[in-house]
Structure 1
Amino acid sequence: MSTDLTGSSTPAPAAGRSPWRNPLVVTLAVLALAAVIVAGLAVRGVFGPYVPQPDSVDVGFAQDMSVHHRQAVEMASWARDHSTDPRVRQLAFDIETTQNRQAGIMQGWLGLWDAPTLPSDGHMAWMTAGMNHPGDDMASMNADGSISRMPGMATAEELARLRATPPPQLDAMFLQLMLRHHEGGTSMLRYGRDHADTSEVHNLASQMLTAQTAESQLMTSLLLERGAQPLPAN
């Protein structure tokens, strides 16, 4: 408090007073922060439908993993019906039901995104350009960076041999083909988990990776019981 020449008292100026004690400044700062948060959430599709681009990780993952899953379901359904080992039949049933459900989820996303249910040409172009996938070579690499066959996929000849093989030899062949199939999809699962824009794809890829890692460990042990070795990566 100070006294002027007339003897009246006036309040002393608030030197160095923080602007954050001003209610208007605080309100404006809160609104600005909220706008930034809302904008970030909108990109992720929290407020309203977020539609990934056709060449996005999310769309490519859903398309390619649907194809990958369909072959796993085909092999698993055959082993479920023809194996004589209860453990193999149970494993095949689990893979068949789980991957059928997951493929349905991914196809549902593609429908909501108005995206093709299947890739139009090759596979895995949605992953990093020039990334070396198991089994890649110049003959299998397309001009757009995609590949003709995804890692782990069985050939038509291998599928035919699986159907023609009687038990108990069927069990070892199924385990070999499915183990290679699971391991071949690992790079896609990790990339989808780490680079997807939508939380749905991120979460599903993470769940798939956890489940298939456990199944791969079980298949490895079942193969060792039979004196069989895993197939090399393709």
Structure 2
Amino acid sequence: MAGEDESPAADRPGPRPVVIGATVVVVLLVGAVLGMFLTQLALRPDSSATPAAGSVEAGFAQDMSVHHLQAVTMASWERDHTTDPELKQLAFDIESTQREQVGRMKGWLMLWGQPEQATGAPMSWMTSDAGHGHMAMAPTTAAAGGSDGAVMPGMATNTELAKLRSLSGRELDVYFLQLMLRHHQGGTEMAQYAHDHTTVAAVKALTQSILTSQGAEMTQMRTMLTARGAQPLPYP
């Protein structure tokens, strides 16, 4: 019959979904490759030289990764043990942001052929700018001799971390805010130094992001401490 011969093409199976699926895969792959290419270009300093051991870029990525990971540890503990929705959200934001930034910095170190952790003393990149051929300013603060696990500005000691885990309720929330505020103060000091001394666009962009996000979080944490009748810890 004529009606059967003229049935719509939509009623007949065809390769269209397969073609569309293949096209999406190709677009995603091209986007991924382009993203990797642009990232590698962004990681090149203006001099086109790869950051060397002891440079501001390598030292910052190594030390800030360690610094961030302690913040992730504290934020994860707070998120899982607080009953305050405001604290739970803050802890989640800090944990997710700093975990992603650690991954980015470790990726840079792999591209640069540098180890994930520095072999020398922490913070040496803030006193000897070997990667750029000039002496840099000394750090304005330091942890108390690196004692009890606090090896960089603002970091909590092992004793302080143990105390954090022993608390609950309001005491937990207040102590977390105090430790994290001080931690951010040390971290932003390191980020500011790297931002002022790097020639690598990607490092400058990350340090600016850290300064912006942690600056806002510090303001929020001071407000939250005041609302709970508490004060920040001394710094440095």
Give yes or no for TM over 0.5: yes
Contact 2:127/2:139 (<8 A) preserved: no
How far did residue 49 of structure 1 move?
Answer: 7.0
How far did residue 121 of structure 1 move?
Answer: 2.9
How far did residue 48 of structure 1 move?
Answer: 11
Greater fraction helix: 2
Structure-1 separation of matches of 2:155 and 2:74? 11
Residue 219 (str. 1) matches residue 190 (str. 2)? no
Structure-1 separation of matches of 2:44 and 2:211? 24
Distance 1:53 1:132, change over 3 A: closer
Post-superposition CA distance 1:147-186 (Å, at most 9, x none): x821100000000000010112100000000000000112
- Which letter does structure 1 place at the counterpart of 2:86? R
Rg: which structure is higher?
A: 1
- Which letter does structure 1 place at the counterpart of 2:83? T
Q: Which residue of 2 aligns with 1:206?
A: 208
Distance 1:120 1:170, change over 3 A: same
Structure-2 separation of matches of 1:46 and 1:217? 33
Contact 1:135/1:233 (<8 A) preserved: no
Residue 127 (str. 1) matches residue 126 (str. 2)? yes
Q: Which residue of 2 aligns with 1:60?
A: 59
- Which letter does structure 1 place at the counterpart of 2:99? N
Contact 2:143/2:154 (<8 A) preserved: no
Structure-2 separation of matches of 1:60 and 1:48? 18
Residue 182 (str. 1) matches residue 198 (str. 2)? no
Distance 1:232 1:51, change over 3 A: same
Q: Which residue of 1 aligns with 2:170?
A: 168
Distance 1:52 1:81, change over 3 A: same
Post-superposition CA distance 1:167-225 (Å, at most 9, x none): 12100000000000000112211111111121111110011010000000000000001
Distance 1:123 1:92, change over 3 A: same
- Which letter does structure 1 place at the counterpart of 2:138? M
Task: From 194, 198, 221, give the equivalent of 2:196.
Answer: 194
Q: Which residue of 2 aligns with 1:115?
A: 114
Distance 1:187 1:96, change over 3 A: same
Q: Within 5 Å, give how 1:1-234 maps onto structure 2.
A: 45=44, 50-129=49-128, 131-135=138-142, 149-234=151-236
Post-superposition CA distance 1:81-110 (Å, at most 9, x none): 011110110000000000000000000000
Could you tell me which runs of 5 or more consecutive residues in structure 2 were left unpaired when the two chains were aligned: 1-40, 129-136
Identity of aligned residues (%): 51
- Which letter does structure 2 place at the counterpart of 1:155? T
- CA RMSD between the two structures: 2.3
Contact 2:79/2:89 (<8 A) preserved: yes
Tell me whether 189-198 or 105-114 shows the greater mean CA deviation.
189-198
Contact 1:151/1:233 (<8 A) preserved: no
Contact 1:223/1:229 (<8 A) preserved: yes
- Which letter does structure 2 place at the counterpart of 1:153? M
2:169 alignment partner, SS class:
coil
How far did residue 64 of structure 1 move?
Answer: 0.5
Q: Which residue of 1 aligns with 2:20?
A: none
